[in-house]
Amino acid sequence: MNTDKFGFGENKVSKSSAYTKLFGDPFWGEAGSLDARSIYLQLNEREKALMLKANYIKMIAKSRERNYNMAADNLQWWLDGTGFTKNIDFNWLRKQREVIAAEDLNIERFGEELEKYGKTLKKEGDIAKYDDHFEHQVKAGVFGELYYASGDSTLSSHCYFKITKKNNKFIVTGIIKHFWSDRYDWHKGASAYIYGFGNYGDSDALLVEKYCGSQPYEMKSQWQQSFNKTFESGFLGSLSINLK
């Protein structure tokens, strides 16, 4: 009996191209094949995992065609079972509008708190120190690469500021350290919407982990911003601190 490259056999898969059509080409908005799905349902768990892996490989290739290289790299990292933490380039992260929105929100919250500290300074040379942190969930939109590279993630921002009153002005100096993190993993019963394809179940990915050696892993990144800004008090001593 002739067999295909995965050893499924002619009675289960008649053409090697069949398993590459299970999911279609989600990055190009092409739906999966009903014939491929019919074949898939006839396979045992290990055979399904191999078929799924073949589709992930094709998904990676299509992602690169669209220049979604970070998404492709992250999926490959999982598929290869690399396992240990993957450091994500913060320059790439800061090009994602959802990450910048989270960063801006945390910075704005620090500014609001600094205003409260500034109003406590009454005399020339008075100093106040302000250290704090805020977290914000980064929710990726389905039309951007971050959705495929990470999905939802967390940005934790930690500030270390000093505010000084000088000549009726307020000098703010300090740094903010941003820590971005996410776990690249899957959850039974969960699913993700892929544009042009529909809901994709995490159970399929867990099957690949079971039989093909793929592993979840941590993704992390960090960057720092420095500040040296001067603000003037407004009408009746009001103070507005905009760090952005």
Per-residue pLDDT tens listing for the chain (244 residues): 333 434 444 344 434 445 556 776 665 667 777 887 788 888 899 999 998 898 888 888 888 988 999 999 999 999 999 989 999 999 999 999 999 999 999 999 999 999 999 989 989 999 999 999 999 999 998 889 999 999 899 999 999 999 999 988 999 999 999 999 999 999 888 877 766 556 667 898 999 999 999 999 999 999 999 999 999 887 666 789 999 8
Task: Judge contact between 151 and 74, C-beta under 8 A.
Answer: no
Calculate Rg over the CA atoms of the chain: 25
Give residue 99's identity as a one-letter amino acid code. Answer: V
For the chain, the residue count is 244
**Which residues touch 140 (CB under 8 Å, ≥6 apart)?**
96, 98, 146, 147, 150, 151, 152, 153
Task: Judge contact between 178 and 136, C-beta under 8 A.
Answer: no
Q: How far apart are alpha carbons 40 and 59 in whole angstroms?
A: 17
